[in-house]
Amino acid sequence: MKPIYQEYFRNNLPHIWCAGCGNGIVMSAWARAMDELKLDKNNVIGVSGIGCSSRITGYLDLNTLHTAHGRALPFAQGAKMARPDMDVFVFSGDGDCAAIGGNHFIHACRRNMDMTLIVINNNIYGMTGGQFSPLTPFGKKATTAPYGSVDPSFNLCELAIGAGASFVARGDIYHAKQLTDLIVAGYKHKGFSVIEVIASCPISYGRRNKIPNPADMMQYVKDHTVAKAVAEKMTPEQLEDKYITGILHEAQGREYTEEYAKLCERVQGGDK
C-alpha cells in the first residue's frame, strides 16, 4: 500500500463500503491533500455524523469523533472552541448534512468558524436502504420514490453561500486531482469552508436509476459536472441537470474563535 495511505489510514482495511463507492475516492483525495499540506496528524481532528460517508473517521488515523446523526458540526464546533489551535475536518453525507443536520449546517455557515466541511453527496440515503434525500435530483428513483422523486432538490452550495459560509466549493470524484486541490484550498482558507463532493452510489442509487455499474457511474459523474469557467458560457437549459464545479465563493469574514478570544480579553479587562 502507498506510504501516504499507511500514514493517514488505520490498519483496518478493507472498508465496509460497497464495490465502486465514491467514499473511498474522497478518502484518498483527502489523504493526498494532507500529504500536500504536510499536516501533523496529532494536531488534526476528524469529526463525522452517521451514514455511509461518516464511517470515514473509523478508517482515519487521527483524533476522530464519530457522533450523532446530523450533529457532526456541533461536536466539531465544540472541539474547535476548546482547542482553537487544532485543525478540524468534518465529513458528512448529503442526508446527514442537508436533512437531519440541515439546521446545524446553516448555523455553522453563519458562525464562520475555521474548519473544513466535506459533504459527500451521493444523492441518496445509502446506509438506511436508499431513501431519497434532499439532494436527490428531481425525477430520480429511490426506495421511497419508486416512480421518481417529485421533491425539488437543494443546491447545497448556494444554500451555504446564502447562510454565510466564507469558502464554498464543489468537486466530484471523477476529477480526483481537482478535489485534492479544493480540499487544500479549503483548509488554507480562514473561516468555514464547505466542499460538496458529487460522489457515486452504484448500489442504492445506481441500481434504481439504470446505472448499476460503478464504471458507468463514474462516466455519469463526469457527464453531469461542468467546470465553473465552462458553465459561464452555457445556457440555463444546458445547465439544467449539471453540477457546476470549482471554487464558487470565497470571501473574508470574521472568524468565530478569534472573535470569542477578543471578547474574553475585553470583558476580563485587558482592553479598556
Partner 1 sequence: MAKKSYDVQVISKLCKACGICVSLCLGKPENVFTQAPDGKAVVVKPENCIGCLNCEMHCPDFCVEVSEKEAE
Q: What's the min distance (Å) between Cβ of 219 and partner 1?
A: 8
Q: Are 54 and 125 in contact (CB under 8 A)?
A: no
Site for partner 1 in 176-195 (CB under 8 A): 176-177
* Among positions 186, 214, 225, 255, the unique one binding partner 1 when judged by CB under 8 A: 214
- Residue 13 or 227 having the CB closest to partner 1: 13
- Burial 170-199, CB ≥16 within 10 A → b, else e: bbbbbbbebbbbbbbbbbebebbbbbbbbb
* Residues near partner 1 (CB under 8 A), total: 30
The span of 182-190, 211-219, 246-254, 264-272 binding partner 1 (CB under 8 A) equals 211-219
Q: Which of 11, 20, 116, 124 binds partner 1 (CB under 8 A)?
A: 20
Question: Measured between alpha carbons, how far is 184 from 172 in angstroms, rounded to an integer?
Answer: 15
Nearest approach, Cβ of residue 249 and partner 1 (Å): 26
Scanning 44-52, 141-149, 160-168, 208-216 for contacts with partner 1 by CB under 8 A, the matching segment is 208-216
Cβ proximity of 67 and 75 under 8 Å: yes
Stretch that binds partner 1, among 1-9, 138-146, 160-168, 257-265 (CB under 8 A): 1-9
Tell me how far apart the alpha carbons of residues 57 and 239 are, in angstroms, rounded to a whole number.
34
* Sign of the alpha-carbon dihedral angle for 123, 92, 169, 2: negative
Q: Which residue among 213, 239, 249, 258 contacts partner 1 (CB under 8 A)?
A: 213
Binding of partner 1 by 24 (CB under 8 A): yes
Kindly state whether residue 18 participates in binding partner 1, applying the rule CB under 8 A. Answer: yes
- List binders of partner 1 among 139-178 (CB under 8 A): 173-174, 176-177
* Sign, CA torsion 226/228/230/234: positive
Identify the three-state secondary structure at position 220.
helix
